[in-house]
Amino acid sequence: MKILLFLLFNFSSLFAQNKSITVYKEYYENSSAIKVKGFMSDKGTKEGLWNSYTKNGMLVITGNFENNREIGVWKEFYDSGKILKTLNYINGKKALQKYYYENGTLISETDYINGKKEGEVIVYWENGKIKSKENYLHNNQIGKFSVFSKNEILVVEGTYSNDSKEIGIWKYNFSDGTLRQEIDYTSEIEKKETTYDSSGKITDIKYEKRL
């Protein structure tokens, strides 16, 4: 009912702008199965509700257009019909994106400002524990980056510069949290990689030019 009301409202708005609407359908190759279905104005703009389907008719993506721009909340689905992703658009630009495991548990939540990633992004394991933490500024990954195992052991830790390059010393740990490798990005010319065994003994040191 909500979708019908939205379409009626959208159509009346379009007619007020002297636009006529036709149904658009795209089919899978050599098949009568619909791949994409939506509404197109006489000016060639996408309007109203648009859906994408699998070849067997399962809904994959659904959302609304206004004058060729995505608006409101778009949804993407698993084959089971459970929600995989929601993405909110404001004025055709990404605003808030969420991913979910098939059981409904949140995977990640990302904020966008003017279509660009901003702020901290936390990714979760299916058990609800934190899998990774990262930060963005104007779509660039910056600052501290961390990765954790399912049992909350820190396995990767490092830092990004404002232009998304690794800086400082990055650490990679064994599953028990003991140090496995260090990569030193302090030099702008080369990086130093030091590898350790499980007892903490250095097993290898090598240098590579930075790209």
Q: What is the mean pLDDT of each run of 10 residues along the chain (211 residues)?
A: 41 52 96 97 96 96 97 97 97 95 97 96 97 97 98 97 95 97 95 97 95 77
d(CA 197, CA 211): 28
H-only helix segments in 21-148: none
Domain borders along the chain are 1-67
- Amino acid 210: pLDDT: 86
The angle subtended at Cα 43 by Cα 39 and Cα 44, nearest 5°, is: 50
- What does the pLDDT read at residue 91? 87
Contacting residues for 114 by C-beta, under 8 A, at least 6 apart = 93
Q: Dig out the tokens for 97 from the structure.
A: 């994106």
